[in-house]
Amino acid sequence: MRNRTKYLGSTAAAAIVVAAAAVFLIATFGISPYSVTRPLGSKPFTDEPAKLLAMGTTLHADTSLSPIGRSCNTCHLEEDSYKATFNKPYPHYVRSVQLKTGLDRITAEGMVQFCMVSALEAKPLPWDSNTLAALTAFVLERHRRALGRTSAID
């Protein structure tokens, strides 16, 4: 009986250690897939493509988006600052997204949210915000050029 109590006690202790480790790992390295996936029924902000692109170009250099003073340009100043996966149609596989969220594919706007959280250490942008729409327009314009396409949406 004593042995059994001891066994149960150490099993419970082990379970607590494993749970605490999981919480710590998710809190430290994990990003919720919900942070990078557009909620069902939500709509993106829309405006003239040229306006969104101009705003996105400015925001891409804006360090005030990040509590630690980074902008997207900190890491993606040049068009060739992305890995090879960038040169595939969206949604597509991105290694660090898979590692941190478990998702096998991500959209361009999901990628903006992912770098907002993982690289800028900020909160995800509101899904209906002009900021998210503008940064996505900027990313899609670079993507269009990377793919050698004539329109961002073909």
Q: In the complex, which residues of this chain contact ligand HEC (CB under 6 A)?
A: 70, 72, 74-76, 82-83, 85-86, 94-96, 111-112, 115-116, 119-120, 135, 139
Nearer to ligand HEC by C-beta: 35 or 74? 74
Contact between 101 and 33 (Cβ < 8 Å): yes
Least distance CB 126 / ligand HEC (angstroms): 14
Nearer to ligand HEC, 52 or 76 (CB): 76
Minimal distance in Å, beta carbon 25 to ligand HEC?
Answer: 19
Cα angle 134, 94, 18 (rounded to 5 degrees) comes to: 115
What is the longest distance spanned by two Cα atoms in the chain? Answer: 76
Total H helices, total E strands in the chain: 6, 0
Q: Which is nearer to ligand HEC, 70 or 144 (CB)?
A: 70
Looking at the Cβ atoms of 22 and 61, the one nearer to ligand HEC is 61
CA atoms of 100 and 13, how far apart (whole Å): 27
Q: For residue 130, give the amino acid letter.
A: N
Least distance from C-beta 41 to ligand HEC, angstroms? Answer: 24
